[in-house]
Structure 1
Amino acid sequence: MTDVKTLPKPLIDVIAGFFAGIASTVIGHPLDVIKTRLQVDRSSIHVGGSVRIARDIVRNDGTVRGLYRGFTPNVVGNSLGWAAFFLWYGKAQEAFHVYRGSQEALSYYDHFLASGAAGLLTSLCTNPIWVIKTRMLSTSSKYPGAYTSILDGSRQILRSEGLAGFYRGLIPSLVGVSHGAVFFAVYEPLKSWRARMKHEADTSTLDTLIVTTVGKIIAASATYPYQVVRARLQTYDAGAEYRGVRDTMEQIRQAEGLKGFYKGMGPGLVRVLPSVWVTFLVAEKMKLAMTRGFLGGFS
């Protein structure tokens, strides 16, 4: 049998995450815009919010292109973010295997800790991109001082807010790492269980869809409020409106009630499910293909 040369596992993780992030952003960006606008919307109106926001975006921008505002920072953030996450997640898993002195399957708790550590590192590195992305997605291109690009946004933030401006919303972002930790604590054991049940080494497309759906719904339901708080803290006028995480939460509670913490969750789930399907299908298939030396990986 001919040996097939494969790439190093860390490089496989990076490449798979990079292209998975691009694919998921291309598919889900318009719904991401609507979700972000809902998260920063302070009105107490909840019913029909997604349709109202979509209509306002098209009317204010004069074209459906408004639904793709902020696409560049979103695709940059997702591609680099997933590349970094998969790299560090793989390294953390290896560390747990070394610590335990075996290559046996890790527990759900191990996956929770490994994905949490990877998420913390990723959030610290990508928060500046998410600040720019949030501000572009949350406003029309005609908004006074609206960013025209990542470079323009970087210049304006540096000039008006200094380096600290790039890390607005960092605390809720770090808290939000629990979302990924919960997801992987559900996803990895379920994936392994399905593989054992079917006596197969690789996860099928259908199994990936089922497992990612279950994991994402559980994780989103448990951790969504942090996304709303983070979005509010990353908007253009956040400094004038909110004094920090606690003040933001209190203002939302008083003005909008408990439902305010779940604004945008509807389109968020509609967006995130196809997005997570694409992310993990692309990532898993690419990893499989590269592990096999690009031979038969997509069969």
Structure 2
Amino acid sequence: MKNSSKKNISVFSHFKYEHLLAGISGGAISTLILHPLDLMKISKRWQNYDSSLGKKVLEDCTGVAPNVWGSGSAWGFYFLFLQFYKNWIQQGDTRYPLGPYLHMLAAAEAGVLTLLVTNPIWVVKTRLCLQYGNEDAYLSKGGQFYKGMSDRSSKFTETKASGGFVPGMFGVTHGALQFMTYEEMKAFYNQYRKLPHDNKLVFAAVSKLIAAAATYPYQVLRARLQDQHHDYSGTWDCIKKTWKYERMRGFYKGLAPYLLHVTPNICLVMLIYEKFTT
């Protein structure tokens, strides 16, 4: 019993809740500041304009509340889980170098847990952003019309809450690649260049650009699968239809506004997070 108790205390000691609060603050603040750029990415026919269907998306999006909730909780849980895995691997010795493989492994494990917790919030956010037409016309076609986050949440059990989960799992590689690059760039400056890593914003921006360029198609697939206006039987069906009607260009639709949004976003998140935890 004593050994079991010590083991439990040891495991929970790796959770540093200041990372949760720092991540929530960084995600929420950056989202409030940059939300208009997110509307450009999602609402103006970027990712969710499907040439096969010719759907139109409204430019006015009511998804700011779930966007803040989603971003804040996602970054909060991500940093909490990421630091847990790093501390667990290092056994409390922060000087122990993880290297690219262990950095990527810790980031991937944190990404999976974060996705499990926050995917329903992203479904809410995407569907609120992609409502168009008046309520009566919308209901007459058998769809759900949501007036806000509380209304959407109350109806949440009526529809699938797991939309886009499979491509979201693939998107875990995005975070893993991004944070592996970020951490290795900092380590390079510390160990080889003998310079302080005060270029955190540059590291954050470069790592985000590399990860985005490598994994962007999953963003398009996830957004389309979460859009209640599209009728896909699954991820593979979405891939086939996107390729059939739009070819490779369809998988990178909205890349420019996406980069315009996420680059300053990650810089703000990392700046706020580092200020809170140092």
TM-score by length of 2: 0.84
Asked whether 1:226 is paired with 2:232, we answer no
What is the root-mean-square deviation of aligned Cα atoms in Å? 2.2
Q: Which residue of 2 aligns with 1:208?
A: 200
Partner of 2:114: helix, strand, or coil?
helix
TM-score by length of 1: 0.79
Cα offsets for 1:39-58 (capped at 9, x unmatched): 111138xxxxxxx97xx61x
Q: C-alpha separation between the residues in 1 aligned to 2:268 and 2:123?
A: 24
Query: What's the CA shift for 1:198?
Result: 4.2
Q: How many equivalent pairs are there? A: 252
Are the counterparts in 2 of residues 33 and 138 from structure 1 also a CA contact under 8 Å? no
Asked whether 1:217 is paired with 2:225, we answer no
1:195/1:23 CA distance change after superposition, 3 Å:
farther
Q: C-alpha separation between the residues in 2 aligned to 1:9 and 1:94?
A: 8
Cα offsets for 1:26-80 (capped at 9, x unmatched): 1221121221231111138xxxxxxx97xx61xxxxxxxx25x200000001111
- Residue among 251, 254, 258 paired with 1:261: 251
Q: C-alpha separation between the residues in 1 aligned to 2:237 and 2:125?
A: 23
Are the counterparts in 1 of residues 87 and 94 from structure 2 also a CA contact under 8 Å? no
Partner of 1:25: helix, strand, or coil?
helix
Q: Which residue of 2 aligns with 1:12?
A: 18
Query: What's the CA shift for 1:141?
Result: 7.4
Query: What's the CA shift for 1:22?
Result: 0.9
Query: What's the CA shift for 1:98?
Result: 3.0
- Residue among 88, 97, 112 paired with 1:95: 88
Asked whether 1:193 is paired with 2:192, we answer no
Are the counterparts in 1 of residues 168 and 222 from structure 2 also a CA contact under 8 Å? yes
The one-letter code sitting in structure 2 at the alignment partner of 1:179 is: H
Partner of 2:91: helix, strand, or coil?
helix
The one-letter code sitting in structure 2 at the alignment partner of 1:279 is: V
Counting only pairs closer than 5 Å after superposition, residues 103-122 of structure 1 correspond to structure 2 as: 103-122=95-114
Q: Which residue of 2 aligns with 1:26?
A: 32
Query: What's the CA shift for 1:12?
Result: 1.5
The one-letter code sitting in structure 2 at the alignment partner of 1:280 is: M
Partner of 2:16: helix, strand, or coil?
helix
Query: What's the CA shift for 1:18?
Result: 0.8
The one-letter code sitting in structure 1 at the alignment partner of 2:232 is: Y
Q: C-alpha separation between the residues in 2 aligned to 1:236 and 1:175?
A: 21
- Residue among 173, 179, 196 paired with 2:174: 179
- Residue among 75, 85, 88 paired with 2:78: 85
Asked whether 1:168 is paired with 2:174, we answer no
Q: C-alpha separation between the residues in 2 aligned to 1:176 and 1:261?
A: 14
Task: Note the residue ranges of structure 2 that are not aligned, 5 or more in a row.
Answer: 1-13, 139-143
Q: C-alpha separation between the residues in 1 aligned to 2:95 and 2:149?
A: 43
Cα offsets for 1:127-157 (capped at 9, x unmatched): 1100010111223474634322222112223
Q: C-alpha separation between the residues in 1 aligned to 2:207 and 2:71?
A: 19
Partner of 1:40: helix, strand, or coil?
coil
Q: C-alpha separation between the residues in 2 aligned to 1:214 and 1:256?
A: 29
Partner of 1:147: helix, strand, or coil?
coil
1:78/1:102 CA distance change after superposition, 3 Å:
closer
Are the counterparts in 2 of residues 228 and 262 from structure 1 also a CA contact under 8 Å? yes
Task: Note the residue ranges of structure 1 that are not aligned, 5 or more in a row.
Answer: 1-7, 45-51, 58-65, 289-299
Query: What's the CA shift for 1:9?
Result: 6.8
Q: C-alpha separation between the residues in 1 aligned to 2:23 and 2:235?
A: 31
